[in-house]
Structure 1
Amino acid sequence: IEKMKRANKLAPSSRFRSWRNVTVTELKTYLAIMLTMGLCRRKNIKDYWSHGTHLMFHFMHQTMSLKRFEILSRMLHLTSRNGPPKGRPGHDPWEKIRPFLDVANAAFVRYFVPSQNLSIDESMIGMKNRCSFIKYMPNKRHARYGIKKFELVDAQSMYVVHIHCTVGRTLWRTDLAL
């Protein structure tokens, strides 16, 4: 953002002209809001900050403004893109999220010893965003459009041992065996 400001590439009315660095407390607040949104669904993000008594979450309204939440959502990335661009050989559509999935999968195994009874569960991450590997599955009730994933799950505790996401017809990591 600083480079864009110096190069004067920001529009005069851009929100990023008043950018301030993110603090650790603010990042923790952002993550708490994201977790709450995952647990308590609303039709759109603005409903969480709405002043209607049945919709509003007071802690969100008191700890972070909707405007700041939207800016952080737009600017926060897990990694930077370093690989080949889309359409080139070796392009990885999961490049931005792969480090997170790798850490999560390693933690799943590190902190839990599964029983002998494992199952592979096929499920969808419901979304209608523009994405080349969005699937349409009419037999799914809760999410007909989304990203298809496979989970290795302990059948007794329902603990996820490994997550494997798909891209089109092939799995994104063919070097890993479930």
Structure 2
Amino acid sequence: MAHDRFLEIWTYLHAINEKDGTTDKTDKIYKVRPILNTLLEKFRYCYLPKQFLNLDEGMIPTKNRFAIKQYIKDKPIKFGIKSFILCEGDTGYIVASEIYTGKSDIEVQNLGVTGNVVLWLFKQGEASRKNHILVMDRYYNSVTLTKH
């Protein structure tokens, strides 16, 4: 009975109106984008981060078949949905996040994929207004990004 009830609720639960013509269906996660944007907006509204911010990628584990599913052999979770996360260093509170859906996701400037991710997350988290110290691994760092 519980399984049937779950499936019934699942068929009627939607985050967007499919019949609305203004929906950008070129976005690979357009069905959950409104929920993600609302959550991130509330995260920014409710908490002001301290000075140290961390930038790293994370994997959301999944066994489903998605076009955005990634394989990273050096991670403990090898298959999943890759996301870039900017969080506060002390508490781990998420300041900004973006799910990686392909090469042309984030276009800020001509800094390469990782440089654009760093600038975009920094601007989304509104961290560029304060004197924050950004901690990231060498995967994201470059000479052109440092000069910027």
TM-score, shorter chain, exceeding 0.5: yes
Does residue 165 (structure 1) correspond to residue 90 (structure 2)? The answer is: no
Q: Is the 8 A contact 2:85 2:97 kept in 1?
A: yes
Normalised to the residue count of structure 2, the TM-score between the two structures is 0.65
How many percent identity over aligned positions? 31
Give the gaps of 5 or more residues in structure 2. 109-118, 122-148
- Report the CA distance between 1:84 and its aligned residue: 5.9
Larger radius of gyration between Structure 1 and Structure 2: 1
- Report the CA distance between 1:150 and its aligned residue: 0.7
The structure 1 segments of at least 4 consecutive aligned residues displaced by more than 2 Å after TM superposition are 80-85, 168-171, 173-176
Of residues 3, 14, 18, the one that matches 1:77 is 14
Distance 1:177 1:97 in 2: 20
Of residues 81, 100, 124, the one that matches 1:147 is 81
Secondary structure of 1:125 counterpart? strand
Give the gaps of 5 or more residues in structure 1. 1-63, 86-90
- Report the CA distance between 1:169 and its aligned residue: 2.5
Does residue 113 (structure 1) correspond to residue 56 (structure 2)? The answer is: no
Q: Is the 8 A contact 2:88 2:94 kept in 1?
A: yes
Distance 2:11 2:73 in 1: 31
- Report the CA distance between 1:146 and its aligned residue: 1.0
Which one has a larger percent strand, Structure 1 or Structure 2?
A: 2
Report how many residues are paired.
108
| Letter paired with 1:114 | P
| Letter paired with 2:56 | D
Q: CA 1:170–1:126 in 2, change beyond 3 Å: closer, same or farther?
A: farther
Cα root mean square deviation, aligned: 2.0
Q: In the alignment, which residue of structure 2 is the partner of 1:134?
A: 69
Q: In the alignment, which residue of structure 2 is the partner of 1:47?
A: none
Distance 1:128 1:78 in 2: 22
Q: Is the 8 A contact 2:24 2:30 kept in 1?
A: no
Normalised to the residue count of structure 1, the TM-score between the two structures is 0.55
Bigger RCO of structures 1 and 2 (CA < 8 A, at least 6 apart): 2
